[in-house]
Amino acid sequence: MTRGSGRADLVIVGGGTAGIIAAQTAGGLGARVVLVERDRIGGDCLWTGCVPSKALIAAARAAQNMRTAGRFGIAPVEPQVDFAAVTAHVRRSIERIEPVDSPAALTDAGAEVVAGTAVFTGPDELQIEGRSLRFRRALIATGSAPALPPVPGLAEAEPLTSDTVWDLAELPARLAVLGGGPIGCELGQAFARLGAEVTVVEATERLVPREEPRAATALSAALSADGVRVLTSTTVTQAARQAKGVRLDLTGRTGPSVLDVDRVLVATGCRPRTAGLGLEQAGVRLDERGYVAVDAKLRTSNHRIYAAGDVTGAPAFTHVAGVHGSIAATNALLAPIRRIDHDKIPWVTFTDPEIAHLGLTEDQARQRFGDAVRVRLLQHEHLDRAIVEDETDGFTHVVLDAKGRVLGATVVGPRAGEMIAELTGLLARGGRLRDLASVIHPYPAWSDGVWNAAVAESSDALQRPVMRRVTGALLRLRRVR
């Protein structure tokens, strides 16, 4: 199974983003690395996650632009959506990215790729389809999978999940989306724009509960404008298959109701893929939620075994999984010195408008740092780029500590995902928002939102009594000379 003899330096279980980056990192270090994957190299991101969802969203945006062109003086038209052609575009996107993640690419990077299911049989040993493999270090990178909520009749109603929705041959005319998190909102909006009648059912009082409340409000308005029915504080109590479609019994703010749809998409969260991995034999402990427990260096309770990506219960994002993979591989093979800080990561919900998130929300920051926390809010109604594009509903919201250093941020609007990058750099360096004021930004770019917030921060600093005294003294001095 392995080249040469003896133990592998690193065996990686799972060939998603975390496993791939770990294998490339280990290969680059010259280690003997084996990556075991039971399904397709590339994992959720490539096959059922980021790539297909963003390809679908791009097609849906094109359809929506046709409907809304009237605001620019161009006759709006109802698009003719060829769903088979849309899914062909989704598949092509995957095919174009796949070679980068392929077994051949990993082999080129110095890793041995083994197809099969890995099961730990001891603290330094695992089996792949009955064959034993001993390791110096191992990495668990088995990801997470969609979880169905315990609703009577739901499993029998053939619900779609993010694993299966890509196999749809036809656009469902009426679609219920359970869960108003990132998957529910991204896919709910995309299906609505492609022509489905979509209802999003969210248990908590607002969509995307991990985001700033004002971001959820903006998203709710945008989804409603796209024709999506948004039901918050609502749950499904029962599902029943009908001759055509599914009947859902709902309970919400106004009491019980019934929703008849053709298909149900479940997007109520994920569970870690740990079942059958033999973690007990390996001496690897799970946390109270069932994820593999790791410390900031991604070490598990077995000093030989690390874990990375979604399976650790860290925020479930591809970029986090990738950074985890790199940290875990270097820590496992060289020395455990690199750490992950989940308080400083960005992510983007690719709805329209995009919601870009960085670090702590205002609420989280106040819980940690108390009343010294400040917020700099810039509404995009005064942003020139937003005005010319008729997209003024967004905002830039930066959470600051007492010294004006960035603790977190939320940007809502077109290209928000690009705009958050600059603030991410600032947070990583422990910088103050007003430090950006002196950095020249191009006009009229979307990045003006962040810049204008920085300029406002800098201007306010000049109004402080001490600064007023200094500038006043300088002006008086100039007048007498």
Ligand X SMILES: NC(=O)c1ccc[n+]([C@@H]2O[C@H](COP(=O)([O-])OP(=O)(O)OC[C@H]3O[C@@H](n4cnc5c(N)ncnc54)[C@H](O)[C@@H]3O)[C@@H](O)[C@H]2O)c1
Ligand Y SMILES: Cc1cc2nc3c(=O)[nH]c(=O)nc-3n(C[C@H](O)[C@H](O)[C@H](O)COP(=O)(O)OP(=O)(O)OC[C@H]3O[C@@H](n4cnc5c(N)ncnc54)[C@H](O)[C@@H]3O)c2cc1C
Annotated binding-site members for NAD(+): 179-186, 202, 269
Looking at residues 162 to 181 of the shown chain, list those that interact with ligand X (rule: CB under 6 A): 178-181
Looking at residues 59 to 98 of the shown chain, list those that interact with ligand X (rule: CB under 6 A): none
Q: Which of 47, 191, 306, 347 binds ligand X (CB under 6 A)?
A: 347
Q: Which helix (H) or strand (E) holds 63?
A: helix 50-67
| Contact mark string toward ligand X, 122..161, x via CB under 6 A | ---------------------------x------------
Of the candidate spans 126-134, 220-228, 263-271, 359-367, the one that interacts with ligand X by CB under 6 A turns out to be: 263-271
- Rounded-to-integer distance, Cα 348 and Cα 421, Å: 11
- Rounded-to-integer distance, Cα 251 and Cα 203, Å: 10
Contact predicate 410/355, CB 8 Å: yes
CB of 312 to ligand Y, least distance (A): 8
Q: Which of 9, 11, 43, 101 binds ligand Y (CB under 6 A)?
A: 43
Cross-sheet strand order for the sheet of 346-349: 346-349, 354-359, 406-413, 395-400, 374-379
Q: Does 277 bind ligand Y (CB under 6 A)?
A: yes
Q: Does 315 bind ligand X (CB under 6 A)?
A: yes
Q: What is the rounded end-to-end Cα distance, in angstroms, of the chain?
A: 85
Place of tokens 């998603």: 16
Q: Does 374 bind ligand Y (CB under 6 A)?
A: no
Of the candidate spans 115-123, 343-351, 370-378, 392-400, the one that interacts with ligand X by CB under 6 A turns out to be: 343-351
Contact predicate 377/410, CB 8 Å: no
Q: Does 331 bind ligand Y (CB under 6 A)?
A: no
Q: Does 273 bind ligand Y (CB under 6 A)?
A: yes
Q: Which segments of 262-403 does DSSP mark as H helices, in order? A: 279-282, 318-333, 362-369, 384-388
Q: Which of 172, 195, 309, 408 binds ligand Y (CB under 6 A)?
A: 309
CB environment 81-92: b (16+ within 10 A), e (fewer): bebeebbeebee
Handedness of CA 440, 442, 443, 444 (dihedral sign): negative
Nearer to ligand X, 12 or 201 (CB): 201
- The binder of 426, among ligand X, ligand Y, none, by C-beta within 5 to 8 A per type, is none
- The binder of 38, among ligand X, ligand Y, none, by C-beta within 5 to 8 A per type, is ligand Y
Looking only at the bridges linking them, the beta strands covering 144-146 and 346-349 are unpaired
Q: Which of 202, 226, 422, 448 binds ligand X (CB under 6 A)?
A: 202
- Rounded-to-integer distance, Cα 40 and Cα 458, Å: 51
| Contact mark string toward ligand Y, 125..154, x via CB under 6 A | ----------------xxx-----------
CB of 205 to ligand X, least distance (A): 10
Share of the chain residues as helix, strand and coil, in percent rounded to the nearest 5: 40, 25, 35
308's tokens = 């990375």
Q: Which residues are part of a known binding site?
A: 54, 142-144, 179-186, 202, 269, 310
Within 8 A by CB and 6+ apart from 282, the residues are 120, 122, 123, 126, 138, 302, 305
Q: Which helix (H) or strand (E) holds 186?
A: helix 182-193
Looking at residues 160 to 199 of the shown chain, list those that interact with ligand Y (rule: CB under 6 A): 162, 183
Looking at residues 206 to 245 of the shown chain, list those that interact with ligand X (rule: CB under 6 A): 209, 235
Return residues touching ligand X (CB under 6 A): 149, 178-184, 186, 201-204, 209, 235, 267-270, 315-317, 347-350
- Chain residues in the site for ligand Y (CB under 6 A): 13-19, 36-39, 43-45, 48-50, 53-54, 117-118, 141-143, 162, 183, 273, 277, 309-310, 316-319, 321, 350
